Chains A and B, each alone.
Chain A
Amino acid sequence: MSSRVADAGVEAPAAHPSPSRLVPWFAALAAYAVPIWFVLAPMALFLGYSFFSVDKGNIVFTPTVANYVRFFTDPVFLPIFWRTCLLCLAVAVLCVLFAFPVAYFLTTLRGRRRYVLLVLLLVPLLMSYVIKIYAVRSILGGNGMLNRALLATGLIDKPSMLFVFNLNAVLLTLTVLLIPFAVLPIFLSLERIPKALRHASADLGASNAQTFWRVTVPLSLPGTLSAMSFVFVLAIGDFLTPQMVGGQSGFTFGRIIYSQFGTAFNWPFGAALSVILAAVVIIAIRLGGRVESSRGRIQ
């Protein structure tokens, strides 16, 4: 088929190569150009910039590792960096703890209801991120819904500021916002477990609880871990939530990077910090994917 088209091109009087010959080239170009132009090039740019410096508001294009030295020696950055990693790890664990039962419940539903509910769970992803943070903040606030509910039930006698403008608030808000991202991979991994394995487990005498812990949980581990790494990556890249609900203690690594670009105009240092963040993200994704790839071995 393709050779016939090419022949027709040769016979044609026009001197240009036949358009059908160029099509695969354009397709390949588009396929490579998009990721190169929009992903690799900006990242390479960041890497490059991270070796420059700034003097009186102007970028000095002389290569230096000063930015990295500064990150590892300055007493401000490393503690914030570790604190942020820990926070995001906690968010990832919480998200998975909440998402797992939800995903499990979804797999017990049949047919259409299961997918309708799944879509409903994913609807929040279509909403503006900032609006969602606003909403969560007004729920958690001193006069917010949570406090009013607690006051009404008499559990507390004055509004508690335990859940707003501190790290708890960042943890809670990120968890609430990112749970949908955890539900999906866990649901998919649960759905992939053949029903026959649960039958086999019961057939061999296992109770439902034994089947759950010995078969369902271990086999959903790849999805659970990729959900964790997914949430971790999204959380560590977030600079809005800490700013908006973290109050005076909501200072995270994302905020530092943001400030380098926003107010400080220190792009080289911001780029160096971004490169470090990207390295963490890549490590997290690799860790999340490890079990996924070793699944090939066990299945």
Chain B
Amino acid sequence: MIGFKHVLGAAALAAGLWASSASAETLRVLAWEGYADPDWVKDFTKETGIDVDVVFIGSDDEIWAKIKGSEGKDFDVMAVNTAQLQRYIDASLVKPWDLSKIPNQKDVLPRFRDLSAIKGMTRDGKVYGIPFCFDSIGLIYDTDKVKPAPTSMTVLWDPQYQGKVLAYDNGEHNFSFTALTEGIENPFHLTDEQFAKIKDKLVDLKRNTLSFYTTADEAMQIYHNNDVALIWANYGQQQLKALQKVGAHVAYVAPEEGSLSWLDNWAMTSGVKDQAAAEKWVNFLLDKKIGAQLSERTGFGNTVTASSNASDGDKLVWLESVEDPLKRSDLWNEIKAAP
């Protein structure tokens, strides 16, 4: 009994310490690994006098659980992607930004300047997300086997590569990118006829496919042990660089019909304690030097300096939440079950 009290006391003490360390002068950040490196945090504190507490997360669901669980009160800013942000706006867990307090946003790359052009970032004319990090989902091809260089994902259906295609095991993305190859305006909201058509296309794709992979390592291993010509590259540049590093003759293509791309943004929680500190944090990170470091360290694209992740001409289609994830998953199962 006494022992238990001790434990409780210690826990209370620890909680108190933790709470006090997260005082008004401390900015509480929820981010992915690589979005708040220690040297940047150190420089930020030196420049602004604001301490930063960073918690790293591992999945979209984890962010939702942490923010929803505290109704936004445990964190001031967080990194969240375009497909997810609307959900937080719906639940009033985020607050709009005042762009005048983030001057660096004016100097970002052209495609990120007009935030209203990026779907999912705004609501009623208010901006809820500041773009920070992105990558495209393109096509990796073996330069020895695929000639000439492909320009579109439609090459995945080419019968001459039958049994040499690695596709990704995800119904949502597969419907979206196939919709793009079919010239469908909004690949994230499909009609029933569009669904039927794309389902047939995906059954054809399946028959051209060697296997469906789930992790980059797995794709790499299959590439090594088998005759693979084309990889639908869910992990984008990271995946390309990993393959090139071990000597594979591969190259990357952003398809002409548009690349599905993810884009992570900084959002401010509705429970933000010091709005100014949050604004300073985002403005600080939209710096050319930090942008370059971000791309160099993670292999992802940044919004302030040019990177190999996207050329100016590449058409990037930012991911949105899809009309019915359950329906896409069920249809994907049907496609996989098809003989």
Whether A and B touch directly in their complex, counting CB atoms under 8 A apart, is answered as yes
Interface residues in chain A, defined as those with a beta carbon under 8 Å from any beta carbon in chain B: 54, 57, 76-77, 79-80, 134, 137-138, 141-144, 159, 161, 164-165, 243-244, 246-248, 250-251, 255-256, 259-260, 263-266
Chain B interface residue bracket vs A: 20 to 34
- Residues in chain A near residue B211, CB distance under 8 A: 165, 246-248, 250
Instruction: Report the Cα distance A159→B226, complex, angstroms.
Output: 9
- Residues in chain A near residue B24, CB distance under 8 A: none
Instruction: Report the Cα distance A266→B206, complex, angstroms.
Output: 24
Q: Which residue of A is nearest B225, CB measured?
A: A141
Residue B210, interface by CB 8 Å: yes
- Residues in chain A near residue B271, CB distance under 8 A: none
Listed residue (B169, B211, B218) with the most chain A CB atoms within 10 angstroms of its CB: B211
Q: Which residue of A is nearest B217, CB measured?
A: A134
Question: How many whole Å from A268's CB to the nearest CB in chain B?
Answer: 11
4 closest A-B pairs (Cβ-Cβ)? Answer: A141-B225, A264-B329, A142-B226, A247-B211
| Inter-chain pairs besides A259-B332, A265-B326, 14 sampled, C-beta below 8 Å | A134-B221, A137-B221, A138-B224, A141-B226, A143-B226, A144-B226, A165-B163, A248-B206, A248-B210, A250-B211, A256-B333, A263-B171, A263-B325, A263-B329
Residue B117, interface by CB 8 Å: no
Interface residues in chain B, defined as those with a beta carbon under 8 Å from any beta carbon in chain A: 163, 169-172, 206-207, 209-212, 214, 218, 221-222, 224-227, 325-326, 329-330, 332-334, 336-337
- Residues in chain B near residue A76, CB distance under 8 A: 333-334, 337
- Residues in chain B near residue A266, CB distance under 8 A: 326, 329-330
One of B210, B227, B330 near A247 (C-beta < 8 A): B210
**Total A-B residue contacts, Cβ distance less than 8 Å:** 82
One of B170, B171, B206, B225 near A142 (C-beta < 8 A): B225
What are 21 of the A-B contact pairs (CB < 8 Å)?
Answer: A54-B326, A76-B334, A77-B337, A79-B337, A134-B221, A137-B221, A137-B222, A142-B225, A143-B227, A144-B226, A165-B211, A247-B212, A251-B337, A256-B333, A256-B337, A259-B332, A263-B171, A263-B172, A263-B332, A265-B325, A265-B326
- Residues in chain A near residue B227, CB distance under 8 A: 142-143, 159
- Residues in chain B near residue A248, CB distance under 8 A: 206-207, 209-212, 336
Instruction: Report the Cα distance A79→B339, complex, angstroms.
Output: 10
Instruction: Report the Cα distance A159→B134, complex, angstroms.
Output: 39
Question: How many whole Å from B64's CB to the nearest CB in chain A?
Answer: 11
